[in-house]
Structure 1
Amino acid sequence: MDGMEEIEIPVSGAIFTFGKSHLSEFLPNQFWVNNDSVVDISCGDEHTVLVAESGRVFVFGNNAQGQLGLGNDITTKKPSCIKSIKNEKIKLVACGRSHTVFASESGYLYSCGSNSESQLGLKEVRQVDKPQCINGVEPQQYKMLSCGADHSVALTVNGEVYVWGGGDDGKLGLGDEQEHNIPTLLSFDEKITCISCGYYHTAFVTESGKLYTFGETDEGKLGLENSVREVLTPHHVSSIPEKVKAVSCGGSHTAVVTVDGKVYTFGDGSNGQLGRGTSELQLWTPKCVELGFKAVDVSCGENFTAIISENGFLYTCGNGRHGRLAQEQDSYSNQFIPQRVNRFRQFFVHKVACGGCHMIVSATKHVEDSSNRRHSINSMNDIGLLNEARVRRRQLHNMSLNKTMPVLPQLSRNNSKPKMLNQTMPHPLSKKKLTKRTR
């Protein structure tokens, strides 16, 4: 297409990176795990963690605080497997500014990285470079994890939430600003279905579709009236008229998806991350983003936002520096209205994770029988099972690349010159509290 070859990607899908991801000198790239599907992804400030269906964990990026869990503090520029927890099957992951939390199939929580504010849930350590088991909570099944600059939150399948780490500004929701070095139950009278941590604030959604926020109030990111200056416990954001399904917190902004597929944003919008144009650069109360389609998921980075439509299309807005919005290669400016990412016109986007300076996307190629139904990221391996023979043939074709993962970047046919994502993807046709800082 237009003189460019199409990437040979397994039917089970691939991971795509954009922005300052530490992969291939920050240029867009893609890779996949041979004989495995990726089931969970997360971005920290400058590091990335992926969980495969087999339970293996792959990491890359900044490792100054040991947040990659590899047993050292060396920055890693290609996906590397964490060997020290190979006996556990990991199923969930969340990255904070410089720490990482994992949940295993057996019900245990693990953490590594900076413990400056007890965000690892471990006592008497300041930094850990290998995942350590958090002993302060009984083993149980978890549904979701989230991490902020220096705090962590875990949601159980029973709808209970545990919080730990720095309590500044009340972001743990426990009614005080104390530091908690073990997971502490956040008492609430309703089951919780979704959680998210910003750098210094936290939000969750209840079973009845209500949104609650707490923590730092600056720039309106809690969605409450600007007269509210202290939020040490969960406060209901009553100005959203529809039932809320999901929430994502960024550095200084928040976005939610309603049951009806609408997206509401609030907080700081100086880089366009609110998606409401240049006339509204800060919102203290939520306002609906004009999209023209139904959304199913949203992810907020430090100062940018990514939205997935019900048809698996990806839209981005906000700070475009380093190419993190995945728009055209020469477009690094702020984007104030969500724009579709045409790079994925032949792909179905399942999940997106936004970090401080980068974004990663999990996607599969469009197949004939999936155009009218949405697969969750947890069912990506089903596609691989249905097409096992085809996947194996494609993986054999790529065996020269690597036994575990394809070499990054992809090589051209004559192996003489590396090709980046923008060269191998089909050309578009139509279709945090260490120190506060800004980018």
Structure 2
Amino acid sequence: MSCEGESRQLQLLFSWGANSYGQLGLGSSNDELLPQPVTHFPDNKRVITCITGGGGHSAAVTDAGELYVCGQNKDGQLGLNHTDNVPHFSFCSALRSIRVSKVSCGWDFTLILTDNGQVLSCGSNAFSQLGIPQVKSCSVPEPVQTLHEKVTDVAAGLRHTLALTESGQIYQWGLGMASHAKRFSCGNPISPFFTAKEPCQIPGLANIRGKKVIAGSYHSVALTDLGELYVWGSNKHGQLLQKEPFGLQPQKIKSHFFLEEMIQSAWSGWTHLIAQTETGKVFTWGRSDYGQLGRKSVQDESDREEVLLQEYCTEKSLKPPACIQCLTGAQQGMQCFHGDGMNMVCAAMAQKPT
């Protein structure tokens, strides 16, 4: 809890969904249909600045730069120097002397970004997703040695990894997308970053300056400093907004999909995407059969902006992004990330008068 002026900010942590491995941090392995308060977080005075979930584990970073983890730990993805599951958020003591700025969870591995721009990873390395080719797995976070420039952002897909450097260059490694790329390449050679076991710069993005990297299960996204989105990888659920089933090279999403507005930030689930524009409009697209998009389908709506989007979308097979009206103009920060599509962890900020 932190005090500022005449008001006091109270941060509440809730989680719900699948909980087979204790990934909700509730101290048990019972599934939860409704949001439950996480009361086992070690220090209620800490403010959570980053929270994320993987295939069966969760991780959170506090304003003190501490990393807390819980859930499945079969491959050492919690970084606790053992492989037992942990049903409550536990401090990653291996990083006691390191200040963490961000964490991102893949299916069975974890990426950690430190304040000084170093990337560490732990968990399974079966698909070379750790960027440390000499190990099969590791239960203590290890540095990714071949990134020689300061890193400002990281993102974990199902079994692939993205990193953004201080100069705006984007790297990918891990074999998670390789089989899909080979299948849709029609026998032609695929780009080396699909099969890289260590960080590999993405050639198609050499002339842009990245601002943020985002990863889904089998797709990748780069947000540029000009407010543009570049996408590549799987398009099974229309997440790339193109007609090809798989993007072998990064392609820019046309700005008319977002009413010609610049993108301020973007996020991804396993198979859907979210983008927020400079004016606060929130657009969602991709897989929707489990209500991931937070809205009705475009075909059922009469909103003028969404009709305009449909007119721009000349390919009948494409389902364009649509704006979530109840979030339009949203400017307040909220940390909200999910794991494998079946569990959710949310940290919300609420104002409490003194």
Matched, 1:237 2:245: no
Task: Specify the alignment match of 1:320 in structure 2.
Answer: none
Shift of 1:359: 1.6
Contact preservation (8 Å) 1:210, 1:237: yes
Q: 1:362 to 1:276 in 2, by over 3 A?
A: closer
**What letter matches 1:265 in structure 2?**
T
Q: 1:360 to 1:35 in 2, by over 3 A?
A: same
Task: Specify the alignment match of 1:355 in structure 2.
Answer: 339
Shift of 1:284: 2.6
Partner Cα distance (1:259, 1:140) in 2:
27
Shift of 1:353: 1.1
Q: 1:286 to 1:255 in 2, by over 3 A?
A: farther
1:16 corresponds to which of 14, 17, 21: 14
Identity between Structure 1 and Structure 2 (%): 25
Shift of 1:255: 2.0
2:102 corresponds to which of 87, 92, 95: 92
Deviation by residue 1:145-183 (Cα, 9 ceiling, x = unmatched): 211111011223432222111142459xx8357421111
Contact preservation (8 Å) 1:222, 1:254: no
Gaps of 5+ in 1: 1-9, 296-308, 313-348, 369-389, 391-439
Task: Specify the alignment match of 2:215 in structure 1.
Answer: 197
**What letter matches 1:47 in structure 2?**
H
1:26 corresponds to which of 4, 10, 31: 31
Matched, 1:39 2:49: yes
Task: Specify the alignment match of 1:303 in structure 2.
Answer: none
Shift of 1:133: 1.2
Q: 1:257 to 1:365 in 2, by over 3 A?
A: closer
Moved more, 358-367 or 117-126: 358-367
Shift of 1:203: 1.0
Task: Specify the alignment match of 2:197 in structure 1.
Answer: 181
Partner Cα distance (1:190, 1:86) in 2:
36
**What letter matches 1:218 in structure 2?**
K
Shift of 1:222: 1.0
Partner Cα distance (2:83, 2:38) in 1:
24
Partner Cα distance (1:278, 1:108) in 2:
41
**What letter matches 1:350 in structure 2?**
M
Task: Specify the alignment match of 2:3 in structure 1.
Answer: none
Shift of 1:230: 3.8
Matched, 1:75 2:85: yes
Q: 1:39 to 1:159 in 2, by over 3 A?
A: same
Partner Cα distance (1:108, 1:257) in 2:
28
Tell me the C-alpha RMSD between the 2 structures.
2.6
Partner Cα distance (1:361, 1:272) in 2:
17
Task: Specify the alignment match of 2:275 in structure 1.
Answer: 256
Task: Specify the alignment match of 1:371 in structure 2.
Answer: none
Shift of 1:92: 1.1
The total of aligned residue pairs comes to 305
Runs of 4+ aligned residues of structure 1 deviating over 3 Å after TM superposition are 278-283
Task: Please give the TM-score of this superposition, normalised by the length of structure 1.
Answer: 0.64
Q: Secondary structure at the match of 1:84?
A: helix
Task: Specify the alignment match of 2:296 in structure 1.
Answer: 277
Shift of 1:283: 7.0
Partner Cα distance (2:267, 2:202) in 1:
19
**What letter matches 2:318 in structure 1?**
W
Shift of 1:67: 0.9
Task: Specify the alignment match of 2:306 in structure 1.
Answer: none
Partner Cα distance (1:271, 1:283) in 2:
20
Contact preservation (8 Å) 1:222, 1:284: no
Moved more, 93-102 or 63-72: 63-72
Alignment of 1:111-190 (within 5 A): 111-138=121-148, 140-142=150-152, 144-166=153-175, 167-168=177-178, 169-170=180-181, 175-176=191-192, 178-187=194-203, 188-190=206-208
Matched, 1:286 2:320: yes
Partner Cα distance (2:235, 2:173) in 1:
19
Q: Secondary structure at the match of 1:71?
A: coil
Task: Specify the alignment match of 1:411 in structure 2.
Answer: none
Shift of 1:139: 5.1
Q: 1:141 to 1:290 in 2, by over 3 A?
A: closer
Q: 1:93 to 1:248 in 2, by over 3 A?
A: same
Deviation by residue 1:230-278 (Cα, 9 ceiling, x = unmatched): 4111111114232222222222222211112222222221222233425
Task: Please give the TM-score of this superposition, normalised by the length of structure 2.
Answer: 0.78
Deviation by residue 1:362-391 (Cα, 9 ceiling, x = unmatched): 2233145xxxxxxxxxxxxxxxxxxxxx9x
Shift of 1:106: 2.5
Partner Cα distance (1:123, 1:351) in 2:
33
Partner Cα distance (1:213, 1:280) in 2:
24
Task: Specify the alignment match of 1:268 in structure 2.
Answer: 287
1:212 corresponds to which of 220, 226, 230: 230
